[in-house]
Amino acid sequence: MSIDCAFFGFVAADAEARVSQAGKSWTRLRVGVGKDDDVQWVSVAVFGKAAEAAGGLKKGDRCYVEGSVKINAWRGQDNIERHELSVAAFKCVQTHLIGRNKPKRESDDSKQRTPASADDRLRRVRGTPDPDLDDSIPF
């Protein structure tokens, strides 16, 4: 039985890109979900094409994950039973790209727009029609 899940979180450490014995790439990372003292840590293994994108995630990056969740249980050296959430993910993408994390735009001189005049901007804000487009439409 598998339980599907989807969540947003933040990456605890840089993602580790790996290659399986079968030669397929996958990525391992730990994602924190929640805030302050209520953070739940989730081990995420990303497979398929999404593994390549997830391999670029760095510590502190925000991400969105979709996959199947599983609870692992084991007994530690201190003989206490422990539990961990793990997700086999088929989608893992970076989100919240703002500020210094925002991707740089490629500048192309041919795509630069001319700035609008102050009158044009004021017309759009006030909703005043452009005099060149003020045609009478009979109804």
What string of DSSP letters covers 60-91?
Answer: T-EEEEEEEEEEEEEE-TTS-EEEEEEEEEEE
**Tens-digit pLDDT profile for residues 92-136:** 998 876 665 565 666 555 455 555 666 665 555 555 555 565 566
**Tens-digit pLDDT profile for residues 40-68:** 999 999 998 899 889 999 999 999 999 99
CATH number of 3-97: 2.40.50.140
**Tens-digit pLDDT profile for residues 66-78:** 999 999 899 989 9
